[in-house]
Structure 1
Amino acid sequence: MNQPELIVQLQQGDEQAFKKLVDEWQDMVYNTALGIVQNEDDADDITQDVFIQVYQSVRSFKGESKFSTWLYRIVISKALDHVKKKKRKKRFAFVQSLFGTASEEEIHPEEFNHPGVLMENRERAAELFKAMEQLPDNQRIAFTLHKLEAQKHQDIAAIMNISLTAVESLIARAKGNLRKTLNAYYTNNNF
């Protein structure tokens, strides 16, 4: 079934069309969310939130951009919102700990492993993902879409609603920032 026909069926409330859409796009949605939030449980939650939003708002999709562009925008928005909420919770927990009112134990994040990384590259990939967390949001999104999702610069420009030059600049700055951050790791580990 071609994409426009599927979208029309979705807009008419066809549940089978929604199931087909989820089957077709769930890996992309999950992997993109995972690349941004770097936590499998959070990526699962975001994936569910994305498809709920798609189901609720597909009637507003007018086809002015590709469906994939629209979907990527939703994923990125949900993932960034999630990251911001987590940062707020951490700040609030820190303030509570200052006043001795924190009742929860401190939870240390588990080691993050992206499913697309080969076993022998896990250690280096873990360092890369840690360094990616330090990038500004726009750089991290552009880098994630380009390197993890293999999106072309033109598609990233459409997804992020910025110019092609801005995408190229964001990716170049992300690479430069990652190079600086990772320099100490590679120097200390003789890579």
Structure 2
Amino acid sequence: MGFRCLIIKLHVQILRVTEEEIIRGLQSGDEKVFREVVDRYQTQVFRTCMGMLHHREDAEDIAQEVFVEVYRSVKNFRTDSKLSTWIYRIAINKSLNHLRKRSRSRWLQPFEMLFNGKSEESVYGSGESMPHAALEKKQRMQKLHAAIDALPERQKTVFLLNKFEELSYQEIAEVTGQTISSVESLLHRAKVNLQKKLWNCYKKECL
């Protein structure tokens, strides 16, 4: 083994030991280590939340929740992934949960508009039919919500970010760490899966 390779190997080992020590410190409840973790990752976590939420105060609140979750859950952390990857996933999941809550009113949009842009009037008409239609719409939204939640995680993430948060493919790629082509493929598969799950309702009322 050459000298350069030896130095690289030793450097990797030092980094690995350092992370292992950090994890042990977190798991033992060492507040100093926890503050170091916050200092090390807070910028990345905030940037991730901000990229998904586009609202500074919300991003700051969710970033705080991320580190609270890190402190509470680190005892269950498994070292088969990097600490930074685990923290990043927490940030993504908490941001997605916040998006669902913040976008609750958007769930009341007719789901056909996600696919073919039909207006509410073209589906429901107007006047006396609206109260009954509103109930049916609510039921369909519940089905849509359940169908989206049943999507594979990566498909669900890009679908929510694109359709409800209105992020571009480029923005989604930056937030999730995927290529633009992967984002496009995941979004296409998400739409196909949703149309399959909701086909009966979609066929009867949205075409």
In the superposition, the TM-score normalised over structure 2's length comes to 0.49
* Structure 2 partner of 1:29: 45
Alignment of 1:88-167 (within 5 A): 88-89=104-105, 135-136=162-163, 143-144=170-171, 146-147=173-174, 151=177, 153=178
- Secondary structure at 2:90 match in 1: helix
For residues 69 and 140 of structure 1, the distance between their equivalents in structure 2, rounded to whole angstroms, comes to 22
Q: CA deviation at 1:64?
A: 1.1
Deviation track 1:131-162 (CA, whole Å, cap 9, x = no partner) reads x986148x95985474368x4x5xxxxxxxxx
Structure 2 residue runs without a partner (length 5+): 1-14, 109-158, 189-207
What SS does the aligned partner of 1:84 have? helix
What 5-or-longer segments of structure 1 have no aligned partner? 93-131, 154-166, 177-191
Q: Which amino acid aligns with 1:147?
A: E
* 1:171 Cα offset (Å): 3.0
Q: CA deviation at 1:168?
A: 6.0
Deviation at 1:50, TM superposition (A): 0.3
Which of structures 1 and 2 has the bigger CA Rg?
Answer: 2
Matched with 1:68 is 84
Shift of 1:90: 5.9
Q: Note the alpha carbon deviations across 1:28-70, whole angstroms, 9 max, x for none.
A: 0000000000000000010011000000000000111111111
Match of 1:171 among 174, 183, 192: 183
TM-score by length of 1: 0.53
Say which structure is richer in helix: 2
Confirm or deny: 8 A CA contact 2:162 2:172 kept in the other structure: no
The 8 Å contact of residues 26 and 47 in structure 1, kept in 2 or not, is answered as yes
Name the SS for the 1:135 alignment partner. Answer: helix
Shift of 1:170: 2.9
1:96-119 per-residue CA deviation (whole Å, 9 max, x = no partner) reads xxxxxxxxxxxxxxxxxxxxxxxx
Residue 42 of structure 1 is matched in structure 2 by 58
Q: What amino acid does structure 1 have at the position aligned with 2:103?
A: K
- Cα contact 2:172–2:183 (8 A) shared by 1: no
**Aligned pair in 2 of structure 1 residues 148, 80: CA closer, same or farther (>3 Å)?**
closer
CA contact (8 A) 2:170 2:180 kept: no
Q: 1:12 to 1:30 in 2, by over 3 A?
A: same
Amino acid at match of 1:48: Q
